[in-house]
Amino acid sequence: MNEVLLDAIRHNNWATERLVAFCRELGLADDQLTTPGVGTFGGVLATLNHLVGSDASYLGALLGVARPEAEDTDLKGLALRAAETEKLWEELLSQPIDVERILVVDDGANEVRVGIFIAQALNHANAHREQVCSILSGLGVEPPDLQAWEYAWATGRIWERTSR
């Protein structure tokens, strides 16, 4: 049943890795990396650190392994952490996932079903990627297209029909 999650999780990993790579290629100055946008978590670097660290933390909870958010790092370190997390998501998806299993979260204050937890992980990443894209737009930079459609084109999951 995990097959239904494959594209969603793989898109999530692809989009984060693509955004980190895009920011690395831009060669943003320190002030461009640290200045927050209006209504965002923080600057580009702080938001990406939070996004990648949270993704690893969500994954750790699902795997039953403590994976605290890493200390702030540069874009190269973020790329490495995102790639490592992608491999662990693939490991998780290779096993049956009981979406009704209960996780204890928020330092023991709450319980949540695994299916909701995964939905939150994906939503959280999307929200923060959009914040980074908003900051980039404010800097006059056209951000990359991170939609699932773009992922589909990049990975051969969508194609033009040859006959109609």
User: For 20-52, what is each residue's pLDDT tens digit?
Assistant: 999 999 999 999 999 998 888 899 999 999 999
The answer to whether 77 and 85 have CB atoms below 8 angstroms apart is: no
Domain regions of the chain by residue span:
3-150
The residue written with tokens 């290779």 in the block is 94
Banded pLDDT at 66 (limits 50, 70, 90): confident
Instruction: Specify the amino acid at residue 117.
Output: F
pLDDT at residue 3, rounded to an integer:
83
Angle at 152 between CA 22 and CA 135, to 5 degrees: 30
Dist. CA 17–CA 92, nearest whole Å: 19
Mean pLDDT (the chain, rounded) = 93
Q: What are phi and psi of 104, to 5 degrees?
A: -95, 125
Residue 159, token pair as written in the block: 């194609």
Dist. CA 115–CA 108, nearest whole Å: 18
Q: What is the pLDDT of residues 136-157, one digit of tens each?
A: 999 999 999 999 999 999 999 9
For the segment(s) 3-150, the CATH number from 2.60.40.10, 1.20.1080.10, 3.10.129.10, 1.20.120.450 is 1.20.120.450
Region label for 156, one of left (φ > 0), alpha (ψ between -120 and 50) or beta (otherwise) = left
